């Protein structure tokens, strides 16, 4: 495949209108995930945007951030840490509540997942309002980690999520 990453994302990410609530257009990455060459290409692009920064841990946000963050962590030789919805992790957790474009939510991370001083890359599929990403940044910092960047496939620029993350290096593969 000789597509550039932006073209690849526009061809392999489909819009699902009115999901999960009326008025929201969900960006579905499952067609991209089903394309092994395309999937590999975007993982490499996510990782390359961080070079030459040294990264100890990749944090993936539930749920698509798990799918993207795990192979990114392997490619970087880093560990992987999941940030999950409230009530899904078995050990002691740090919590952060945030606003979504369609409500509020709480995410959690194990208290011992990020060692103080760890250099952390946060990975997710879409940056919308920035609430989930901001919550992840706060959790990593409260644990003593240093957020060296946030990498996403798509940024929905009309929702202004970037404004909530002005203190974070943001890598986006495509903006819509």
In this predicted model, what pLDDT tens digit does every residue of 46-84 receive, in sequence order? 999 887 889 999 999 999 999 999 999 999 999 999 999
Question: Mean pLDDT, the chain, as a whole number?
Answer: 94
Query: Do residues 125 and 156 lie in contact, with contact meaning Cβ atoms separated by under 8 Å?
Result: no
81 is a domain residue: yes
Active-site option among 64, 84, 134, 162: 64
Active site (annotated) includes residue 64: yes
User: Torsion-angle region of residue 20: left (phi > 0), alpha (psi -120 to 50) or beta?
Assistant: alpha
The structural domain count of the chain equals 1
- Whether 15 is in a domain gets the answer no
- From the candidates 101, 119, 138, 141, give the one annotated as an active-site residue: 101
Per the annotation, the verdict on 101 as an active-site residue is yes
| 74-124 per-position pLDDT tens digit | 999 999 999 999 999 999 999 999 876 567 899 999 999 999 999 999 999
CATH number of the domain that residue 146 is part of: 3.40.50.2020
**Domain around 132:** 53-175
* Alpha-carbon separation of residue 77 from 42, 56, 57, 58, 141 (angstroms): 17, 8, 9, 10, 22
What does pTM read for this prediction? Answer: 0.94
Question: Phi/psi class of residue 117: alpha, beta or left (left: φ > 0; alpha: ψ in -120 to 50)?
Answer: left
């Amino acid at each position: 495949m000789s597509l550039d990453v932006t073209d690849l994302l526009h061809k392999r990410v489909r819009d699902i209108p009115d999901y999960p609530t009326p008025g929201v257009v969900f960006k579905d990455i499952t067609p991209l995930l089903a394309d092994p060459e395309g999937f590999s290409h975007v993982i490499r692009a996510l990782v390359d945007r961080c070079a030459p920064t040294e990264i100890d841990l990749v944090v993936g946000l539930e749920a698509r951030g798990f799918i993207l963050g795990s192979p990114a962590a392997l490619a970087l030789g880093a560990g992987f840490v999941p940030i999950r919805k409230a009530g899904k992790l078995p050990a002691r957790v740090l919590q952060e509540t945030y606003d979504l474009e369609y409500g509020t939510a709480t995410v959690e991370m194990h208290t011992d997942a990020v060692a103080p001083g760890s250099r952390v890359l946060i990975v997710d599929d879409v940056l919308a309002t920035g609430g989930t990403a901001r919550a992840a940044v706060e959790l990593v910092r409260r644990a003593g980690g240093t957020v060296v960047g946030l990498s996403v496939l798509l940024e929905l620029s009309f929702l202004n999520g970037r404004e909530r993350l002005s203190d974070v290096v943001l890598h986006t593969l495509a903006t819509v």
